[in-house]
């Protein structure tokens, strides 16, 4: 079997004395869309922070594209192609949509093909093309989320990690964002999706992991997890 793009082994991390992650194991292969789900406070955001190098790791290891990340700064990790789209949108409100996207492109590894990439995302999301001269802060919540995702894509990541993209958005918008993530994956960018809405996440992902109090409790094909009675009872209200 091919080596995973991201290999997380027995990972421990937390805040000060408070341990949150207590031995997380997870693998993501290139070209997959993987969902990470779990209750509030399970440690999902903490895991993404540890992967991005935003909080220190106290045990275990993270290997990205064959190289251990231990000792690397968040900036170095980002430049290796591991990009996190944080909870909340963090756009530059007083800049236009297009300038926000170009800010993302400024961060990319290598400067090639920015115009072509911009064209590609505008084709993927025509709404953004229509709105490209609008100030980002005046876009609707769903449009802002699209803009934030696209800005992250403009940095040309290898693995895009998305945290709670659906927060506060109407179901139809969430559906559109999920379909966009599938297109992103089909375009060759691997995706790790953290999502509160377990049903919609597993319906769109290839595989899934369930995090419970700092450990992976279940993992498998997304379809199989959707059909799993334990998950239906705990997360799907069946
Ligand atoms: N900066 C912080 N300092 C101290 N404790 C924190 C900090 N951030 C998170 N925690 C704690 O770590 C635990 C895991 O939080 P985390 O944000 O990773 O959960 P989550 O799975 O993302 O939850 P949610 O679904 O609500 O976003 C929680 O108990 C939380 O209170
Ligand atoms: Mg969270």
Classify residue 187: in a domain, yes or no: no
Classify residue 133: in a domain, yes or no: yes
- Ligand in closest contact with the CA of 43: 1
Q: What is the pLDDT of residue 56?
A: 95
Per-residue pLDDT band for 110 (boundaries 50, 70, 90) equals low
Classify residue 128: in a domain, yes or no: yes
Q: Is residue 95 classed as helix, strand or coil in its secondary structure? A: coil
Q: Per-residue pLDDT tens for 120-178?
A: 888 888 889 999 999 999 999 888 988 998 898 888 899 999 998 888 888 888 998 89
Kindly report the protein residue whose alpha carbon is nearest to atom 18 of ligand 1: 43
Structural tokens at position 64: 């990205």
Q: What is the CA radius of gyration of the chain?
A: 17
Q: Per-residue pLDDT tens for 25-50?
A: 999 999 999 999 999 999 999 999 99
Nearest to 157, CA basis, from 60, 62, 65: 65
pTM exceeding the 0.75 threshold for the entire prediction: yes
Q: What is the pLDDT of residue 66?
A: 95
Range of the domain at 112: 92-154
Answer positive or negative: Cα dihedral of 167, 105, 191, 183: positive
Kindly report the protein residue whose alpha carbon is nearest to atom 11 of ligand 1: 41
Kindly report the protein residue whose alpha carbon is nearest to atom 27 of ligand 1: 40
Winning range, highest mean pLDDT, from 44-58, 72-86, 171-185: 44-58
**What is the widest separation between alpha-carbon atoms in the chain?**
49
- Ligand in closest contact with the CA of 163: 2
As for how many domains the chain has, the answer is 1
């Amino acid at each position: 079997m091919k080596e995973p793009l991201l290999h997380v082994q027995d990972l421990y991390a937390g805040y000060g004395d408070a341990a949150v992650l207590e031995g997380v194991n997870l693998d993501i292969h290139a070209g997959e869309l993987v969902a990470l789900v779990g209750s509030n406070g399970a440690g999902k955001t903490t895991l993404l922070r540890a992967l991005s190098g935003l909080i220190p790791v106290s045990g275990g290891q993270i290997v990205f594209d064959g190289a251990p990340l231990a000792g690397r700064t968040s900036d170095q990790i980002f430049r290796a192609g591991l990009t996190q789209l944080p909870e909340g949108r963090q756009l530059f409100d007083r800049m236009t949509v297009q300038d926000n996207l170009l800010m993302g492109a400024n961060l990319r590894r290598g400067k090639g093909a920015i115009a072509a990439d911009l064209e590609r995302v505008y084709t993927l999301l025509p709404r953004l093309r229509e709105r490209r001269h609008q100030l980002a802060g005046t876009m609707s919540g769903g449009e802002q989320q699209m803009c934030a995702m696209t800005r992250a894509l403009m940095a040309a990541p290898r693995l895009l990690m998305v945290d709670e993209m659906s927060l506060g958005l109407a179901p139809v918008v969430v559906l559109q964002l999920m379909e966009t993530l599938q297109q992103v994956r089909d375009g060759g960018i691997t995706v790790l999706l953290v999502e509160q809405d377990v049903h919609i996440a597993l319906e769109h992902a290839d595989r899934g992991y369930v995090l419970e109090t700092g450990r992976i409790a279940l993992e498998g094909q997304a379809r199989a997890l959707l059909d799993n009675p334990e998950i239906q009872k705990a997360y799907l209200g069946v």
